[in-house]
Structure 1
Amino acid sequence: MAISRPNIDELKEIAKSIYIDLTDAEAKEYLALMQANFDAYDVVDELDDNINKNTAIRDKFYRPTGDENPLNAWYYKTNIVGASTGLLKGKIVALKDNISLANIPMMNGSETLEGFIPAYDATIVTRMLNEGATIAGKATCEHFCLSGGSHTSDPAPVHNPHKYGYAAGGSSSGSAALVANGDVDMAIACDQGGSIRIPSSFCGVYGMKPTHGLVPYTGIMPIENTIDHAGPVTTTVKDNAVLLEVLAGIDYLDPRQYAPKVDQYSAYLNKDISGLKIGVVKEGFDLPNMDSKVAEKVYKAADIFKKLGAIVEEVSLPEHKLAGALWSPIGCEGLTAQMMHGNGMGFNWKGQYDVDLMEKHKAWRTQTNKLAPSLIISMLVGQFGINQYDGKYYAKAQNLARKATLGYEKVLDQYDVLLMPTVPIVAQKLPTEDASITEYITKAFEMIGNTAPLDITGHPAMTVPCGLVDGLPVGMMLIAKHYAEGVIYQTASAYESAVNWKDC
């Protein structure tokens, strides 16, 4: 099948879109010269897109309602049983709904993507099934994953299992809520500004954002390549470590993966932490909306480590605030260029592109009335940076990200683990349906002050439940050097063994 060719008038319009004026004669001459290129497009058009599509019959899936989905945490339920043996045999897993599960609907929290059905499994899905996991379904997520609250998901907000009517956190809202509610043993979440750690903190479960690129993102709808992370959410440290063992490692299809260093994370469990050096980051408590009750719980958790023999000291890390500031140009301009203008995939990277997803997602342009305010404001900021400054601040922020990363590394040369609150607040009430744009957006981003910086630097960071405030969970965040997830699991395991976090 041949692609459509432009006529002279259409070519002149194309030229205008790249700031070039052509006469009719010039356009005619260029058009003749372009025919060989169009013939090459015809060759590409006639070929399959070179993706190993999954032809397995998966016809037992449905969208649960009512009493079967009281928290609105499920998008679709299914029952896909993996291998008969493996590290995850007997484990029930939910997938965030930006992760491709072949022949099962995926909408990434947005009505504009509803009806899309992936043709292949994400790399991490294949790895889990090969290790015996049972995929129980797709977990609701926030609108194109652009919210730390759980009120932006279509068609309805996700509720906190600890207190109905309160946020479950986002953007992996359903993933954390289902784990915390006991509906599944473990879930996969994704993190660009805190979307593994925020809902895990709000819901009182363990959420690990691994080192950037440790877990392949192939088959997961991106936001921006340099900040995309995927990782495990569980109720125990052991399950978290074992699941990461299954997920981690290169697949040669993901440009985020440089040379990932994989470890046996479960080997770090139940190890003594005597002499381990833990730096309590001053700037992590210095947020404008820091709840003193949350800070108190995290400081008490730090004291537990002292009692366990660790060396715990306060440390200053000015680059923490710098990394937070860098998120706006990188995140907003990057997502506008890749996820929106680039139809989810963008350009200039080698790996596996989801052509079917691009075809479906391009329709957002005719459905902008359905886009959530949390996405709209991010696009407005991003397009402003692109239009007004031609991407200068995206580029400058990426350069400065190296400086911010080095700041963490210098402190981590002195300490094994860094500690701070995961988020400055506990879960807040969900906004009402008639909430103003201001309230809607504020509730989407008010909690990302400590989480977003680690997406810029790519360091591993895990939220560990460490207490309750007014019946709602508090999380402390543990941070380590790149690919040093093991020491985080060692530290988290020691805390888990020493206390019942709900009594703290």
Structure 2
Amino acid sequence: MSIIRPDTDELEAVANSLGIHLTARQLEDYQSVLQANFDAYDVLDQQADFLPQVSYPRSVGHVPSAAQNLLGAWQCQAHIQGNSEGPLSGRTVVIKDNIAVAGLPMLNGSFTLDGYRPEVDATVVTRLLDAGASVAGKAVCEALCFSGGSHTSASGPVHNPLRPGYSAGGSSSGCAALVAAGEVDLAVGSDQGGSVRIPASFCGVYGMKPTHGLVPYTGAMPIESTLDHLGPITRSVQDNALMLEVLAGVDGLDPRQLAGTTTARYTEGLSRGIAGLKIAVLREGFGHANSETDVDQAVRQAGEVFRAQGAVVEEVSIPMHLLGPAIWLAIAAEGATQQLMHGNSHGFNWRGLYLTDMMEHHASWRNRADDLPDTVKTTMILGEYLTRKYHGSYYGKAQNLGRKLRLAYDEILTRHDLLLMPTLPLKATPLPPADASLADYLGRSFEMLANTCGFDVTGHPAMSLPCAMSDGLPIGLQLVGKHFAEADLYRAAYAFEQNSDWKVC
């Protein structure tokens, strides 16, 4: 098979789009000299792709009926039986629908992947199956993962299992809802601005965003490589730590995994206690413009539970924490527009595993851009305008300031083991109606990011754990630690879990 050669008009149009203007004679000459390059692409086209092998047999999956999917959280159901033995033997796991599971349909909450069935399993899926888990299917996620609310997926809203009609949080909305409802034991979500921790907080479960690069992102649909994380969502700290033991580690295919990536046996230290652990209550994590009083109070009271177990708990100030959302926005808006949209999800200029079929399917967004949800369209317009107007300089400045933000957190973490703050300023909110105004639709998507998104920029591990109930809805507490110090987060979270019944707090 040969690649399609451009005719003279196509060649001229490409040149003009680059600001290059060629005469008719030059076009003929360029057409001639480029033929050898096109021939080289023919050679490439004839080669079989080099993809990981799929090890476990599976069914093609099915979309459950409405009666079987009351929360709107299942994208598809299937059964893939993992290894007969392993640390996760007997556990069921659901996979967020932006993560490849070979043979199962993948939509990523949007129409752009219609008809796409991955040829490979993501590394995290293979590791779960190798550890004995069985994959129960794919969970609904928000449209291209561009929402902290659970109302943007093409399949419809995902309901909070504790209060239908309320948000389950996003973008790993289906994952948290299914775990909280007890329909599965475990879930894998992704987190670029809080998308593991937000639904964990809204649904009252445990969600870990590990250190950037600790868990390979290979086989998941990227948004922005410097923000991309995958992490576990569970109903207990023990399960979360065990799951991370399975997921963590270098796979050799993900450029996010730099030299120095270190793993641990996270379950081994859970019962060590927290006597002497130094926990810093972050002043700037409280009192946001949309903070709810009961949320701030509950998280401060939770600090006393840690103190009663022997931890040293004291308040600190990191003023730069308040700049985190602005830094994150420039990286997310411009970076995602270039990588996820113009770069057809994977982008360029890195070594690792490219899912080219995913890239081909997602490229179809250009044919139906008007049908993209407003969360995606507003982000794209913002990112494209700023990149065209300022040539990426604000993206670059935000990345530079992201290093400064990391140093600001690290400076406090040289004297303390953990930071403590509310995961979100508020509890779960009502799902917006179908006729919601643009301002309300977008507000419900992004209103909760103040304490989560900055740690996607800096890469620190951050975990949401339920700490209280108020008006029948969970309140999440966020712990943040040093890079690759997930064991400290788990030890503190386990001490809290064992010494506080958050459901009656």
**How would you bin the TM-score normalised by the shorter chain?**
over 0.9
Matches within 5 A, 1:68-83: 68-83=68-83
Measured after TM superposition, the shift of residue 324 of structure 1 is 2.0
Is the contact between residue 226 and residue 256 of structure 1 (CA under 8 Å) also seen in structure 2? yes
Which whole-Å CA distance do the structure 2 matches of 1:442 and 1:323 have between them? 18
How far apart in 2 are the matches of 1:283 and 1:356? 44
What is aligned with 1:293? 294
Distance (Å, rounded) in 2 between the aligned partners of 1:251 and 1:289 = 41
2:404 maps to amino acid: K
Q: What amino acid is aligned across from residue 474 of structure 1 in structure 2?
A: I
Cα offset for 1:55? 7.7
Q: Which residue of 2 aligns with 1:501?
A: 502
Residues 208-262 of structure 1: per-residue CA shift (max 9 Å, x gap): 0000000000000000000000000000000000000000000010011003101
* Aligned partners of 1:111 and 1:155 also within 8 Å: no
Aligned-pair CA distance for 1:67: 2.1
Which residue in 1 is equivalent to 2:126?
A: 126
Letter of the 2:187 partner, please give it.
A
> Match for residue 269 of structure 1?
270
Residue 341 of structure 1 corresponds to: 342
- Alignment partner, residue 39 of structure 2: 39
Cα-to-partner distance string for 1:136-180 (whole Å, 9 max, x where unaligned): 010000000000000001121000000010000000000000000
Whole-Å separation in 2 of the counterparts to 1:30 and 1:154? 45
2:370 is the counterpart of 1:369: yes
Aligned-partner Cα distance in 2 for 1:448–1:62: 34
8 A contact 1:49–1:355 mirrored in 2 = no
Q: Matched residue of 2:268: which SS?
A: helix
Please report how far the alpha carbon of residue 467 of structure 1 lies from its aligned counterpart in structure 2 after TM superposition: 0.6
With over 3 angstroms needed to count, the CA separation of the structure-2 counterparts of 1:248 and 1:477, relative to structure 1, is same
Mapping for residues 402-417 of structure 1, pairs under 5 Å: 402-417=403-418
- 1:407-456 CA distances to partner (integer Å, 9 max, x unpaired)? 11001001100000000000000011111111111100000111000000
Matched, 1:474 2:470: no
CA distance in 2 between counterparts of 1:450 and 1:200 reads 14
The answer (yes or no) to whether the contact 1:323–1:457 under 8 Å persists in 2 is no
Q: What whole-Å deviation, never above 9, does each CA across 1:248-292 have from its counterpart, x for those lacking one?
A: 000010011003101110012111211111000011003110111
Residue 105 of structure 1: aligned partner: 105
Give the drift of 1:56.
5.6
Contact 1:94 1:175 in 2 (8 A): yes
Q: Secondary structure at the match of 2:188?
A: strand
Q: What amino acid is aligned across from residue 164 of structure 2 in structure 1?
A: Y
CA contact (8 A) 1:106 1:117 kept: yes
Residue 190 of structure 1, CA deviation: 0.4
Q: Does residue 353 of structure 1 match 2:330?
A: no
Give structure 2 stretches of 5+ with no counterpart: none
Residue of structure 1 in register with 2:397 after alignment:
396
Deviating 4+ runs (over 4 angstroms): none
Q: Note if contact 2:56-2:82 (Cα within 8 Å) is conserved in structure 1.
A: no
The Cα of 1:58 is off from its aligned counterpart by 2.6
Letter in 2 for 1:262: T
Q: What's the CA shift string for 1:344-395, capped at 9, x where partnerless?
A: 1100111000000011111001111221111111111110111111111111
For the 8 Å contact 1:74–1:137, the answer to whether it is kept is yes
Partner of 1:279: 280
Shift of 1:69: 0.6
Distance in 2 separating the partners of 1:121 and 1:156: 26
Distance, in Å, in 2 between the alignment partners of 1:176 and 1:423 is 15
Query: What residue identity is the alignment partner of 1:479?
Result: V
Instruction: Quote the residue 2:204 is aligned against.
Output: 204
Query: TM-score, with normalisation over the residues of structure 1?
Result: 0.99
User: What SS does the corresponding residue of 2:359 show, helix, strand or coil?
Assistant: helix
CA distance in 1, matches of 2:121, 2:66: 29
Query: What letter corresponds to residue 147 of structure 1 in structure 2?
Result: S
Q: Is the 8 A contact 1:112 1:370 kept in 2?
A: no
Counterpart of 1:377, as a letter, is: T
What is the DSSP-based 3-state SS (H/G/I as helix, E as strand, rest coil) of the residue aligned with 1:402? helix
* 1:320 counterpart letter in structure 2: H
Kept in 2: contact 1:187–1:233 (CA 8 A): yes
CA contact (8 A) 2:59 2:80 kept: no
2 CA distance for matches of 1:229 and 1:55? 24
1:236-251 map, 5 Å: 236-251=236-251
RMSD: 1.0
For 1:185, the equivalent position in structure 2 comes to 185
Alpha carbons of 1:57 and 1:92: their partners in 2 closer, same or farther (altered >3 Å)?
closer
| Offset at residue 479 of structure 1 (A) | 0.2
Structure 1 CA distance, aligned partners of 2:63 and 2:217? 25
Distance in 1 separating the partners of 2:355 and 2:327: 29
What code does the residue aligned with 2:227 have?
I
Q: Which amino acid aligns with 1:66?
A: A
Report SS of the residue matched to 1:343.
coil
Query: Counterparts of 2:156 and 2:9 in 1: how far apart (Å)?
Result: 46
Query: Using the alignment, how far apart are the partners of 2:7 and 2:168 within structure 1?
Result: 53
Asked whether 1:138 is paired with 2:133, we answer: no
Tell me by how many angstroms 1:114 deviates. 2.4
Hey, what's the Cα distance between the residues in 2 that align with 1:323 and 1:257? 23
What is aligned with 1:490? 491
Q: What secondary structure, in the 3-state scheme, does the structure 2 residue paired with 1:113 have? A: coil
How many pairs are equivalent? Answer: 504
After TM superposition, give the deviation of residue 6 of structure 1 in Å.
Answer: 1.6
**1:135 and 1:55 mapped to 2: Cα distance?**
13
**2:460 counterpart of 1:459:** yes
Q: Where do 1:89-104 residues align within 5 Å?
A: 89-104=89-104
Structure 2 CA distance for aligned equivalents of residues 470 and 114 of structure 1: 40
Which moved further from structure 2: 212-221 or 364-373? 364-373
Q: Distance in 1 between matches of 2:292 and 2:65?
A: 36
Counterpart residue number, 1:450: 451
Q: Mind listing any 5+ residue stretches in structure 1 that lack a counterpart?
A: none
Partner of 1:195: 195
Letter of the 1:425 counterpart: L
